[in-house]
Chain A
Amino acid sequence: MKIAVLLRQVPDVVEELVIAEDARSLAEDDVMYITNEADEHALEEALVLKARHAARVTAIGVGGEEAKDALAAAIAKGADEAVFVPVPFEHRGDNHRLASVLAPSMKAAGYDLILTGVWAADQLDAGLAGLLGVRLSLPYVGGVVSVAVDAPGTKGTVRKEYPGGRLAVLEVGLPAVLGVQSAEQPPRYVPVSKVAQAKRTLQLTELTEPTVLEMGVRPTKLLKSDPISRAEMLTGDVSQVADQIVRLLRERSLV
Chain B
Amino acid sequence: MSPESISLELETEGVPSDATNAFLSRILKLPGGDQLLSCIQCGMCSGICPMGYAMDYGPRRMISALRAGRIEDVYRSDAIWLCVACFNCTYRCPVGVPITDRLIAGLREELLGRGVGVPAEMQAAFERTSRYGNPFGESPRKRDAWTKDAGVDVPVLREGDSAEVLWWVGCFGSYNKRNQKDTVALARILDALGVDFGILGSDERCSGDLRCTSQGEEGLFNALYQHNAAELGKRNFKQVLVGDPHAYNALRKEYPRLGTTLSVHHYTQFLADRVSDLARGMKKEITAKVTYHDACCLGRRNGEYEAPRDVLLTIPGIRLVEMPRNRENALCCGGGGGANWLDSFIWQRTRVPLPMQRVQEAAKTGAQVLAISCPLEVPRFEDAIKTSGLEGRLEVREISHMVAEALGLLGGY
Chain A residues proximal to chain B, CB less than 8 Å: 14-16, 34, 77, 185-186, 188-196
Report whether A189 and B139 are in contact in the complex, using a CB–CB cutoff of 8 Å: no
B212 to chain A: closest residue by CB: A192
Known A15-B139, A186-B120: A193·B1 in contact at CB below 8 Å: no
The minimal Cβ–Cβ distance linking B330 to chain A, given in whole angstroms, is 30
Known A34-B131, A186-B120, A188-B115: A193·B222 in contact at CB below 8 Å: yes
The minimal Cβ–Cβ distance linking A240 to chain B, given in whole angstroms, is 17
Interface class of chain B by DSSP: helix
Report how far A192 CA is from B127 CA in the complex, Å. 9
Report how far A77 CA is from B112 CA in the complex, Å. 12
Q: What 8 A-B pairs have minimum CB-CB distances, sorted nearest first? A: A193-B219, A192-B219, A192-B220, A189-B123, A191-B112, A188-B115, A189-B118, A15-B139
Known A190-B115, A196-B223: A16·B217 in contact at CB below 8 Å: no
Chain B residues proximal to chain A, CB less than 8 Å: 1, 109, 112-113, 115, 118, 120, 123, 126-127, 130-132, 137-139, 141, 216-220, 222-223
The minimal Cβ–Cβ distance linking A36 to chain B, given in whole angstroms, is 15
Most buried by B among A15, A190, A192: A192
A191 to chain B: closest residue by CB: B112
Report how far A189 CA is from B121 CA in the complex, Å. 11
Report how far A124 CA is from B300 CA in the complex, Å. 56
Report whether B219 and A189 are in contact in the complex, using a CB–CB cutoff of 8 Å: no
- Which B residues touch A14, using CB under 8 A? 132, 137-139
Report how far A188 CA is from B119 CA in the complex, Å. 11
Pick the contact of B219: A15, A16, A34, A194 (CB < 8 A).
A194
Report whether A189 and B218 are in contact in the complex, using a CB–CB cutoff of 8 Å: no
- Which B residues touch A188, using CB under 8 A? 1, 115
- Which A residues touch B123, using CB under 8 A? 189
CB<8 Å pairs between A and B, sample of 22: A14-B132, A14-B137, A14-B138, A14-B139, A16-B139, A16-B141, A186-B1, A186-B120, A189-B115, A189-B126, A189-B127, A191-B217, A191-B220, A192-B126, A192-B217, A192-B220, A193-B217, A193-B220, A194-B113, A194-B219, A195-B219, A196-B219
Report how far A185 CA is from B5 CA in the complex, Å. 12
The minimal Cβ–Cβ distance linking B164 to chain A, given in whole angstroms, is 33
Known A186-B120, A188-B1: A193·B218 in contact at CB below 8 Å: yes
- Which B residues touch A15, using CB under 8 A? 139, 141
Report how far A140 CA is from B115 CA in the complex, Å. 31
Report how far A69 CA is from B132 CA in the complex, Å. 15
Interface class of chain A by DSSP: loop
- Which B residues touch A195, using CB under 8 A? 219
Report how far A158 CA is from B130 CA in the complex, Å. 34
Report how far A185 CA is from B138 CA in the complex, Å. 26
The minimal Cβ–Cβ distance linking A103 to chain B, given in whole angstroms, is 32
Most buried by B among A14, A186, A194: A14
- Which A residues touch B216, using CB under 8 A? 191
The minimal Cβ–Cβ distance linking A35 to chain B, given in whole angstroms, is 11
Report how far A16 CA is from B202 CA in the complex, Å. 14
Report how far A185 CA is from B116 CA in the complex, Å. 13
Report how far A118 CA is from B131 CA in the complex, Å. 24
Report whether B141 and A191 are in contact in the complex, using a CB–CB cutoff of 8 Å: no
- Which A residues touch B217, using CB under 8 A? 191-193
The minimal Cβ–Cβ distance linking B132 to chain A, given in whole angstroms, is 7
Report whether B118 and A192 are in contact in the complex, using a CB–CB cutoff of 8 Å: no
Known A14-B138, A15-B139, A34-B131: A191·B1 in contact at CB below 8 Å: no
Report whether B1 and A185 are in contact in the complex, using a CB–CB cutoff of 8 Å: yes
- Which B residues touch A186, using CB under 8 A? 1, 120
Pick the contact of A191: B109, B120, B131, B132 (CB < 8 A).
B109
Report how far A104 CA is from B114 CA in the complex, Å. 36
- Which B residues touch A190, using CB under 8 A? 115
- Which B residues touch A34, using CB under 8 A? 131
Report how far A209 CA is from B1 CA in the complex, Å. 40
- Which A residues touch B138, using CB under 8 A? 14
Report how far A16 CA is from B137 CA in the complex, Å. 13
Report how far A34 CA is from B109 CA in the complex, Å. 25
The minimal Cβ–Cβ distance linking B245 to chain A, given in whole angstroms, is 24
Known A14-B137, A14-B139, A15-B139: A192·B130 in contact at CB below 8 Å: yes
B120 to chain A: closest residue by CB: A186
